[in-house]
Amino acid sequence: MIKLRRPQLLLLILIGLGCGAPGFADPGPVSVRAGLGIATSQNTAFADKDCEAISPAAYFGCGDGPDAKPRGAYGDISAGRLIEVGIDYQLTDALTFGLDLIHWNGARFKGQANFLNVPVGTEPVSADFSGTTALFSGQLAPLALLDIDTGPVSPVLSIGLGASRNRLGQSRYLFPELGATAATYVPGGSTTQLAWSAGLGLEITLSERLDLVAGLRYVDHGKVQTEIGDIRVVRDGRDDLLIEVGEIEADLKSEQAFVALRYRL
Q: HEC string of the chain? A: CCCCCHHHHHHHHHHHHHCCCCCCCCCCCEEEEEEEEEEEEEEEEEEECCCCCECCECCCCCCECCCCCECCEEEEEEEEEEEEEEEEEECCCCEEEEEEEEEEEEEEEEEEECCCCCCCCCCEEEEEEEEEEEEEEEEECHHHHCCCCCCCEEEEEEEEEEEEEEEECCEEEECHHHCCCCEEEECCEEEEEEEEEEEEEEEEECCCCEEEEEEEEEEEEEEEECCCEEEEEECCCCCCEEEEECCEEEEEEEEEEEEEEEEEC
pLDDT above 60 (res 22): no
pLDDT tens digit sequence for 99-143: 999 999 999 999 999 998 888 899 999 999 999 999 999 999 999
Q: What average pLDDT does the segment 78-106 reach?
A: 96
The tens digit of pLDDT for each residue in 195-249 reads 999 999 999 999 999 999 999 999 999 999 999 999 999 998 889 999 999 999 9
Q: Hey, where are the domains in the chain?
A: 6-20+29-264
The CATH code belonging to domain 6-20+29-264 is: 2.40.160.20
Q: Which of 22-31, 115-124, 165-174, 188-197 has the lowest mean pLDDT?
A: 22-31
Q: Pick the more confident residue, 257 or 24.
A: 257
Q: Give the pLDDT band (50/70/90) at residue 16.
A: low
* Tens digits of residue pLDDT in 31-74: 999 999 999 999 999 999 999 999 999 999 999 999 999 999 99
